[in-house]
Structure formats: C-alpha cells, structure tokens
Amino acid sequence: MHTDRTDRTDRTNRRLAAALAVIASCALAGSLALVRPAGAADTSLKQLSEAKGKYFGTALVQSNLSNSALVGVATSQFDMMTPGNEMKWDTTEPSNGSFNFGPGDTLVAFAQAHSMKVRGHNLVWHSQLPGWVSSLPSSQVQAAMETHITTEATHYKGEVYSWDVVNEPFNEDGTLRQDAFYNAMGTNYIADAIRTAHAADPNAKLYLNDYNIEGENAKSNAMYSLAQSLLAQGVPLGGIGLESHFILGQVPSTMQANMQRFAALGLDVAVTELDDRIQLPASSANLQQQASDYSAVIGDCLAVTRCVGVSQWGVGDADSWIPGTFSGYGAATMYDQNYQPKPAFNASIAALGGSSGSTSPSSSTPSTPPTTSSSSPGGGGSAACKVSDVVSAWNTGLTENITIANTGSAAVNGWKLTFTLASGQTVSNSWNATISPSSGQVTATNMSYNAAIAPGSSASFGFQATHTGNASAPSSFSLNGQVCTNG
C-alpha cells in the first residue's frame, strides 16, 4: 500500500516536472492557437482529418520542443504525437531493472498540453536495444521482456492511444528477424508481448509496426499471416502500422488493397512514419511528385474505414532522419528547412477535402477601403524595407513565402504589410501572419511572436491561395504605410 502511494506520488511529481518543462513552448503555441490566421481553422491537417474521423500525427523528439518554428507547426497541424526515441528500450531501461521515463514524460506532457494523443513507440524492438538485453542468457529474456513491457505500459497506462508493441519483426523475405527475443522464445514472443501489454493497459490499441509492408509483397503477406494467426489464438492485437518511409514516386499501387485486407480481419491500420525521400537537390518536379505521393497515401487511408490516421515522421525537412541515414537524400517531409509548407502540404490539405479557398462568406470580403500609401513619414525617398517572395504554384493553387527585411535604422515594433494579389487569387490559409481580406489589396499583420524586426533583420510569413490561371506574385508592398522595394 505504502509503496503504491509512493509510486503514485512520484509519478505525479514527475508529470508536474515534465509539464513545467514544456510551459515555455505552451505559451508560444497558446498564442498561436488564440491568434489563428484567417481560414486556418478549417484547413489544418488535424481539423480536416478529425472531420473524417481520423487523426494526423507527427513524431517529436525532446530537443524539438525548444524550436519555436517547429512547435508552431506541430501544435497547429497535428493531433497525434509519436515520441521519436524517448519511449524506446535504450532510453527507458538502459540497465536491467533501472527505468527512466523522464524524456517520455516530457513529450507526453507536451502532447497533453496541446490536445495531441500519443502513439507509444515502442516496447520491443531489435534496434535501440541496450546491450544488457542481448547479452542475457536465453532463459532470462522472456522475464526481462515481460518486466519491461509491464513496467513501461503501466507507467503510461491511460496516457497512450496505442502501443507499437513489437516493432519491425520481419526480414524483407517475410521470415522473422532472429533477434534476442526470437532466439529466446521463437515466434511466440510476439503473442506473449501483446498479451503482456494488454494486461498492463487494456485500453491501448496494440500494434505490430513495420516498414516495406505498405504494398502487397512477401513481407506484408507474412505480416498478414501472423495477424491472422494471432487473432485466431485470441491475442489482443488491435492494429497494423505501415511505417511508409517511401522513395519518391514509389508509393505502391496496392497500398489501399493491402490496408483493406488487414482491416477485413477486424484490425485498425495506420500510416505511422510517413516520409518521401528525394535525391538532392530537389527539383520543383520532384516536389510535385512528392505532393502526388502524399495525396495518394492520404487517399488510400481515407478509402479504408479502419485506417485511423496518418503520421509523418518528424515535422519538417530540418528535423527529418533521412539525410543522416540516406546520403544524398532529403526533402522528405511536407515542410521545408524553415518550416514553410511545401507542395506536399497543400496536396495533403486538398486530399483531406480542404477547400483551397472560396470558403469565406461574402461578408468576409468587404470593400475595405484601400490603404492609401500616401507619402510616408520619415521617408525621404529611401525605402526602409525590402520584400522578397517565392511562389510555388500548381494548376489551381499556390503557396507564397514572403520575407520582409528591415533595411532602415529604426526597429519595427508591430507591422502591417499591404500588398496586391494578382486577380483571381484568394487566400485560404496563412502562417506567421493574419491576412485580410482574402483577395485584392490585402494586409498581412504580424503575430505576437514576430512583431519586432530589428534593423538588419527580417520576418517571414506565408499563405496558400487558389488561383484561376494567374499565379503571379503579389505587387505593391508597403510596410506600415511605407513603400518597400521588391526583389
């Protein structure tokens, strides 16, 4: 009894400490949530997914939490979080019987603070497995595995939506990997692991997760047979995770049918670690292909009722694992090195049924009197701002990223950038600024976190818009009433 209470108190204290550790990032994201850009509320990945009864997730590691640009995107777009490394055995039980849930607790507290659910990842895996497990005599592996699963799944009981109980169990030819668990227990280690996790947290969905099982092939056939066999034995398997680490242009055409056959067994399926790597440097044709790839994956998931959601592995190209593992490859996510959305983001929004604009009621396109940029204060002819813009367009839409450089000698504290959109363009979504109205001459207003632009510094923001054939960049930029140079 006393021990139970002490454990609970310790756990509460740890959670409080973890929650305090994320307060800074909460404050940032809180301000983002309150000052939501016009149109963003109904065009985020998560809101569109939720409207379809699904989620859209990302993977985070602890160090990501201090990156404000990353956190801004993570909290505004995603409603599911998978810890990238912090729940793996090498972190949680680095030596036999010595548990460390601090890093995982920090991420869980962050997720809870931002209304994200958590995919627990993972309990049993041949990789990131501390040496002491592989060195155990075979006769002791089962007890070590069960203790590990019970302790970790109990610690996170009620706090994870699902667990990847066994990760990557198969070789490419569909045979089981001969890792410490298989060598000690044979095929039965998988059933034992799932049963042990279920006893600890009966409400978590229990997954087997693997890569290269997205299409129909020897490996996914083996996963299918295993799933059938586990279900026939009454093992509480709940879902199959398709990691989906794709190479550009290689999303299998059989992905939907493959997901459907698992669903037909009564299992959930999830795209758990989506990315789509490109040989660098990525051309704009490559980025368009990546957009189609993302669209195809999301379309496949939407077509399968039991596909519960899609998670990308990481938030943006800057935090992706790809360049570090596949030399010469990168650009694998929906966001670029500066956390600006790429064509794959727009394609994902579209695949989820996001309007590429035109949702604003007519009352929100008022005849705002044009801001006459009458000769401005203190001007004397030399502009104190320089605007550069990059447009990325496809047949009916575009994204535009704009950078405002303060070329003057005075600090800017709070800014409004007016500019004129090409005719036929309508803003549907914006980031790092609010934009109003949605067409014609518009004004972009700073967010609380990028209001100040020191002399020599710059601020960036962007938007997504629909167009009717004219994808030209905007023109006539004025910052706080003062005309800017452009280029």
Q: Which residues bind ligand 9MR (CB under 6 A)?
A: 84-85, 127-128, 167, 243, 273, 321
Nearer to ligand 9MR, 127 or 138 (CB): 127
Q: Give the pairing type, strands 452-453 and 426-431.
A: unpaired
Of 210, 203, 263, which Cα lies nearest the Cα of 236?
203
Shortest spacing between CB 264 and ligand 9MR, in angstroms:
26
Alpha carbon distance 392, 401 (integer Å): 9
Active site residue 159: no
Please check whether residue 88 is in contact with residue 121, taking contact to mean a CB–CB distance below 8 angstroms: yes
Least CB distance to ligand 9MR at residue 125 (A): 7
Question: Are the C-beta atoms of residues 272 and 241 closer than 8 Å to each other?
Answer: yes
> 159, 214, 273, 400: which one is catalytic?
273
| 424, two tokens | 């036929």
Task: Choose the catalytic residue: 152, 168, 214, 400.
Answer: 168
Q: Kindly report the number of other CB atoms within 10 A of residue 299's CB atom.
A: 15
Sign of CA dihedral 338, 320, 22, 349: positive
Which pairing describes strands 307-312 and 475-479: parallel, antiparallel, or unpaired?
unpaired
Q: C-beta of 198: minimal distance to ligand 9MR in Å?
A: 22
What is the per-residue DSSP string for 263-305?
A: HTTT-EEEEEEEEEEEESSPPHHHHHHHHHHHHHHHHHHHHST
How far is residue 394 from each of residues 14, 299, 331, 470, 471, measured CA to CA in Å?
Answer: 48, 19, 18, 11, 8
> CB 78 → ligand 9MR: shortest distance, Å?
16
CB of 128 to ligand 9MR, least distance (A): 6
**Of 63 and 138, CB closest to ligand 9MR:** 63
User: If you compute the radius of gyration of the chain from its CA atoms, what whole number of angstroms results?
Assistant: 25
Chain residue at closest Cβ approach to ligand 9MR: 321
To ligand 9MR, the closest distance from the beta carbon of 83 in angstroms equals: 9
CA 286, chain centre distance (Å) = 21
Please identify every residue annotated as catalytic: 168, 273
